Amino acid sequence: MKQIQQRTLIAEEQIQNAFRRGRKFIEVKPGTIVTAQAQDTAARLKIKLLENPPERAAVVRTSGSTATRRVLYRNNPSWEPPSRPVARKRQTIEKLVLIGVGGVGANLAHLAANASIANEICLIDVLPGAAEAVALDLQHASGITRSGTMLSGSTSLKSIAQAQVVVVTAGRPRTPGMDRSDLSQINGRIIRTIGESIADLASDSVVITVTNPVEEMTKLMLQTTGFPRKRVIGMAGTLDSARFRQSIASAAEVAVTDVQAITLGSHGDEMVPLASRALIQERPILEFLSESAIESCRAETVQGGASVVNLRKTGSATLAPAHATLEILEYMTGARVGIVPVSVQLSGEYGLDSMVIGVPCRLSMSGVYEIVELKLEAEELAFLQKAARAVRTRMEANWHGFNERLERRKIREDRLLQQSETRGTFCLCGRYDSHRKKRETACTAWYLCPELVYFRENPRVSAPSRCGVASCR
């Protein structure tokens, strides 16, 4: 059966409608019927009837984003489109080791397990039973959270073996009236001990230092492990930036999700909140806040950690640092993309060399793969360089005395190890002998010993000695 082809009819009414719309011609396609009245009306109104018109080129359709970019460029030729973040497939850490299960370590373990950041999380703490208890508690919680992460706890640094990422939170927290730099001597001993174990047992791992003071401890960890700078980073900028965003949101009375802000520099009084790059609802912060209000936000950010310490009396912040560390892990695994501020050793970036300071970076599973140099205002760049110099000055002052005591400890260590061949195992402060003191009375906070206590395992005993001196407790 033949298909009946429909034909188009052009009457006088179509000609009059075209005239009212201002058209000068009408296309007459093959097979179209034009009435005699329509032809007379077209001649009278001077409208041409084009038979067999040529085919028109296809209309090039432009996406909305491209059209917007063209409009912005025409309005301002110096405008540049923002760089699009490179999408990465999310990866999973095979083994994540958390050293120190205090407030930050325990909360980070909880967050990391729920986020499925790693297939295995190993907790290590010097206090017997502490790491094991947290691991068991999180295993019980997995019955509710349905987390498939394997969890384990230990007191031995040997559990670092085969770690892909090591997060170090171990150390003494701040107390009211104490500055972060006051912890350099005490926490420096902990970082040296841990760094040596990481270098021996997990030589391919990435280390994230959370212990205060962050920049000094990151530099010390870098020196102790001998790792490339990209594999030793400090957690500071993520926490400071979060506090800066919250302070701005509170001052402007907007949701914190509407605020974009970043903080560079040192994790302390020398931090550099970048007000010039802060945005509220994609608009400059000066459209919402006055200069005095912005300065107040800066001051509140700098004193954010001290405010928590003054309220708690016996410790420092735990929840916000744990979330800030998790953010770094998410950027490493590809769960988030973009730049994130972390403390890393610079090599010419921002006019600084061989200094550890907080700067924006792009992260991957191998650590830092790009240090992003932002176009800072002259005043902000000067503050950043001043912060780096302040960190270096503190390190030189603190490590000079520390290295001298370290040399004396090595001499005392050699002497005591020679005596241990006949007398047993000793604490290196020289005041604990395993033959005269009961092992169960040993100090569980050996890393706080003011006498630079280090322990060695004697081949003749199965467990290392612990210091029984009251001053070490």
Which positions are annotated as active-site residues? 267
Write the CB contacts of 112 (distance below 8 Å, at least 6 apart in sequence): 96, 98, 118, 121, 149, 326, 329
Distance CA 424, CA 385 (A): 52
Structure tokens at 228: 């490339």
Distance CA 274, CA 259 (A): 13
Question: Which stretches does DSSP call E strand in 47-100?
Answer: 48-51, 93-99
**Which DSSP state fits 209?**
E
Which ranges of 253-377 would DSSP assign to H, the alpha helix? 291-302, 304-312, 319-333
Is the distance from CB of 199 to CB of 166 less than 8 angstroms? no
Structure tokens at 355: 């200094």
- In Å, how far from its chain's centre is CA 325? 6
Is the distance from CB of 465 to CB of 455 less than 8 angstroms? yes
Residue whose token pair is 């906070």: 445
Write the burial class of residue 138 (CB in 10 Å: 0-12 exposed, 13-18 middle, 19+ buried): buried
Give me the phi and psi of 10, to 5 degrees please. -110, 115
Distances (CA, A) of 217 to 24, 208, 212, 412: 81, 10, 7, 25
Bridge partners of residue 48, in order along the sequence: 25
Angle between helices 184-201 and 378-423 in degrees, nearest 10: 70
Rounded to 5 degrees, what angle do the CA atoms 15, 17, 19 make? 70
Write the CB contacts of 72 (distance below 8 Å, at least 6 apart in sequence): 79
Give the Cβ contact number of residue 144 at 10 Å: 7
Write the CB contacts of 270 (distance below 8 Å, at least 6 apart in sequence): 383, 386, 387, 390, 391
DSSP 143-192: HHH----EEEEES-GGGGTT-SEEEE--SPPP-TT--GGGGHHHHHHHHH
Structure tokens at 376: 């800072």
Write the CB contacts of 65 (distance below 8 Å, at least 6 apart in sequence): none
